[in-house]
Structure 1
Amino acid sequence: MKHRAQTVRKVLAAVVAVAAFVAVTATPASAADPVSLWSNTDTPGTIDVDDPDAVELGTRFRAGVDGTVTGVRFHKSAANTGPHTGSLWTEDGDRLAQVTFTGETASGWQTATFPTPVPITANRFYVVSYHTTTGHYSADNNGFAQARDNGPLHAPADTPEEPNGLFRYGSGGFPTSTFAATNYWVDVTFTPTTTTPEEPPVPGGFPNEANTGVPAGVTLTPFTEPCKFQTANQVIDGKIVDCPDGIQVYAGNVTFRNSIIKQAVETNAGGASITIADSEVRAGATSRAAVSGTDVTVLRSEITGGQHSVRCDDDCLVQDSYLHDQFNDPNSSFGYHNNGFLSNGGTGMVLRHNTLWCTPPDNEIGGGCSTNLSLFGDFGPITDVTVENNYFHATPGGYCGSFGYNPGKNFGDNPTGVVVRDNVFERGPSGRCGGVGPATSFLTTGAGNLWSGNTWSDGGPVDPA
């Protein structure tokens, strides 16, 4: 927790037990039953922290399936007399529901039920919290040194880029501060809306959130240099790069390695080139692509946010990376079309052993996913593209891939050198990967074009439309 000048704050680090309860995966409930992260028999190592101040305490979590949050739970010490209120928040701090606890017992687990269950979306993060006016909360340092999972519920480990074990002193509000990966024993009651078991978002062997991004053990520090990258061969290693106006690269061979990048990244000059390796790009709410330009290399990285994950003009290599969770603004004046990887015309592109997943659903203004991988001859011809050994996740879009043959576009009538081989297509809810089919716009007669060895995730060949 945050440090104040009083001795009472120093007590926390010295007194709070290193999480006495360390198990990170519990026995799941049946799929349609209410479920929480902890059971009523789970108890904190430190039940009463000697801190009398009012504070909001929370847990960041996601559910692996759609469902409803019905209430809030927390573990209470006898001295934590309250009153208490519970809240559910979006990850950005918008309160979705609030309830006052009534009929509490003297100590132990307490539960309050929202007047109306709150629908939540699978694999989006939320925060559940409670406020106490009297302090004396339960807490264990390092309780979120590891993730906590129970059935469809997942609370991530505390990291600089994805904090967990949250607090905010005062009269209440969205908690965002952390201290020592502390678990404050705040829980959620969740009911899945389906009896379909949760499926792993990505099968083993392909890139996912666990095997891409910043490697475990890397210590990240803030990047404090200028945000215009104008020095050739510059290396940014082990940094949290936060440039509010975006990241423009004007020089050749600029490398971001083992880093968290909080805005979209773009090459913006002739001769500029970037490599993003073992990093996470979190472009957030922007109509720009998360990574874009010419001479772009992305290796073993997780790319989220932005209208598209990667947009390539020419000469791009994307390998061993996880592209997902693009941004779509439902309040824009027109419908955004999202893509995992996009080229509007270019040459020299290689996509090898990635997980490609366009995730935004269709909205009322015509926005949503086009495909996981889109090659469109809008501003130039599509030439010399290799797409091999990737996992095409099922998408809300029409197709999982579009491969360059679009006669209605200015340069879409003759894509050449397009090689698509040994990729795996997930069937998903539609049974077709996309709403219409797995692949479209592949010109079998184009010079150097090859479609070979592409299969469904459950077996059998995938043929181009």
Structure 2
Amino acid sequence: MSRTPSAGMAVVIVLFTLVAGTGCGSNSPASDAAGALPRTTGAVSPSGNSSSSTGTPPSAAASSPTAPTTPATAEASSKSAAPTKPPTKAPSSSAPPAAGAKPPPGSWPDAGNTGVKPGIKLVPKKGEINVNTDGAVIENIDLVGDIRVEANNVTIRNVRVSGPQGGDINNWGILQWVGYHGLTVEDSEIVGSSTTEMRTGIMDPGGVVNVRRCNIHGISKHGIDTTQGVIEDNYIHDPFWFAAADGELDSIRISGSPDNGTSLLIQHNTLIDTNTVNGAISMFETDGGQPTRVTMEGNYMATWGFCIFAGGASAPTSYIVAKDNVFGAKFKDGYSYVTEWNRHGTGNVWSGNTWEDGRPAPLI
């Protein structure tokens, strides 16, 4: 399905496994899919000493996927479902992206109220952290590398994950693996490098994931990629543009359907990229699953492309709710705040959305 405008569209005993190295080539989906990682019995803290678990299972309903796919297949499906649409003029990937739009005055998420909490001392680490214990807590780490979660109800908080300088592609910053659920990521920062592409900030081919008060930036494809859980109070902004990523830049990507009994709430986030043709929230059919049970409420979105790509004007999407969102006004010619909205889908609701200046933003 094309995203080109057309006429009519206006992550207790604490142990850890740390894979050293700055290249993070070990997180390639192709190599991971070939064999399981060694199992460990604990989680990760900065000191590696024993401590009591402070994790709390997330409140959202969790269930294992009924038809799991690997990140490799998920990405392949995504690319087949969403034709590429690179910007007319690609920003240089050798320097930080130019400052984009800022949220309007008020209580929107920004760099001052998202990311690692003030006063937290972070311990430096490098490589890939593998988490294999249910209920583990990973906190207070400044990691150059990535985190891979193969456990349920893991909490990651006050962590900074950044891509290495001058290495292989980072396919993700944080990954919840297939068959696991209940990951909570909160008060953390995930940032890509201008020389080593980080494709997805938080990738979830597993079950429910909850992301709160995170600052995610410098990503080349998807800030958060999931179909179920809660995404709230985050600041996702200013991606890097890499030609190898095919220009598929989305702050939040939804590919296919959530598991039975689950849904996705996207609430009170700031989603900004006014430098590339992208989407703030994009929904696509994947492996036969159509987007459903997605609520987008009270978000600020400013993009150069479409703010919401809604899955298909005639596709069988259902229970897609867009309510009380605010849209910036800097669009490339021919783009706007919504496209491919199915007006006749069961339970689909468009209500109370406005431009930044307060004018109504109706379906066109």
TM-score, normalised relative to structure 2? 0.64
Residue 305 (structure 2) pairs with residue 305 (structure 1):
no
1:319-358 equivalences in 2 (<5 Å):
319-330=232-243, 332=244, 335-347=246-258, 348-358=263-273
Q: Pairwise CA RMSD of aligned residues?
A: 2.6
Distance 1:91 1:452, change over 3 A: closer
For residue 152 of structure 2, what is the aligned residue in structure 1? 252
1:66-465 equivalences in 2 (<5 Å):
122-123=98-99, 200-223=102-125, 227-243=129-145, 246-263=146-163, 264-284=173-193, 285-286=196-197, 288-293=199-204, 294=206, 295-306=208-219, 307-312=221-226, 314-330=227-243, 332=244, 335-347=246-258, 348-361=263-276, 369-379=277-287, 380-393=289-302, 395-397=303-305, 399-405=306-312, 407=314, 413-428=315-330, 435-465=334-364
Is this contact kept in 1: 2:203–2:225, CA < 8 A? yes
Instruction: After superposition, give the CA deviation of every residue in 1:29-80 in whole Å (9 maximum; x if it has no partner).
Output: xxxxxxxxxxxxxxxxxxxxxxxxxxxxxxxxxxxxxxxxxxxxxxxxxxxx
For residue 141 of structure 1, what is the aligned residue in structure 2? none
Larger radius of gyration: 1
Is this contact kept in 1: 2:304–2:335, CA < 8 A? no
Give the share of equivalent positions with the same residue, in percent.
Answer: 31
Distance 1:438 1:291, change over 3 A: same
Is this contact kept in 1: 2:103–2:300, CA < 8 A? no
Higher relative contact order by CA 8 Å / sep ≥ 6: 1 or 2? 2
> Which amino acid in 1 is paired with 2:224?
V
Is this contact kept in 2: 1:249–1:273, CA < 8 A? no
Instruction: After superposition, give the CA deviation of every residue in 1:394-424 in whole Å (9 maximum; x if it has no partner).
Output: x222x111112255xxxxx111011110111
Instruction: After superposition, give the CA deviation of every residue in 1:204-223 in whole Å (9 maximum; x if it has no partner).
Output: 31111111111211121235
> Which amino acid in 2 is paired with 1:258?
N
Is this contact kept in 2: 1:350–1:385, CA < 8 A? yes
> Which amino acid in 2 is paired with 1:415?
T
Query: Whose strand fraction is larger, Structure 1's or Structure 2's?
Result: 1
Is this contact kept in 2: 1:220–1:240, CA < 8 A? yes
State the aligned residue count: 254
Is this contact kept in 2: 1:251–1:269, CA < 8 A? no
Is this contact kept in 2: 1:308–1:342, CA < 8 A? yes
Is this contact kept in 2: 1:300–1:320, CA < 8 A? yes
Is this contact kept in 1: 2:299–2:326, CA < 8 A? yes
For residue 100 of structure 1, what is the aligned residue in structure 2? none
Query: CA–CA distance in 1 between the matches of 2:199 and 2:300?
Result: 24
Is this contact kept in 1: 2:120–2:140, CA < 8 A? yes
> Which amino acid in 1 is paired with 2:281?
L
> Which amino acid in 2 is paired with 1:300?
R
Gaps of 5+ in 2: 1-91, 164-172
SS in 2 for 1:227: strand
Query: CA–CA distance in 1 between the matches of 2:122 and 2:93?
Result: 22
Distance 1:342 1:358, change over 3 A: farther
Query: CA–CA distance in 1 between the matches of 2:331 and 2:250?
Result: 19
- How far is 1:370 from its partner? 2.9
> Which amino acid in 2 is paired with 1:374?
S
Query: CA–CA distance in 2 between the matches of 1:301 and 1:405?
Result: 29
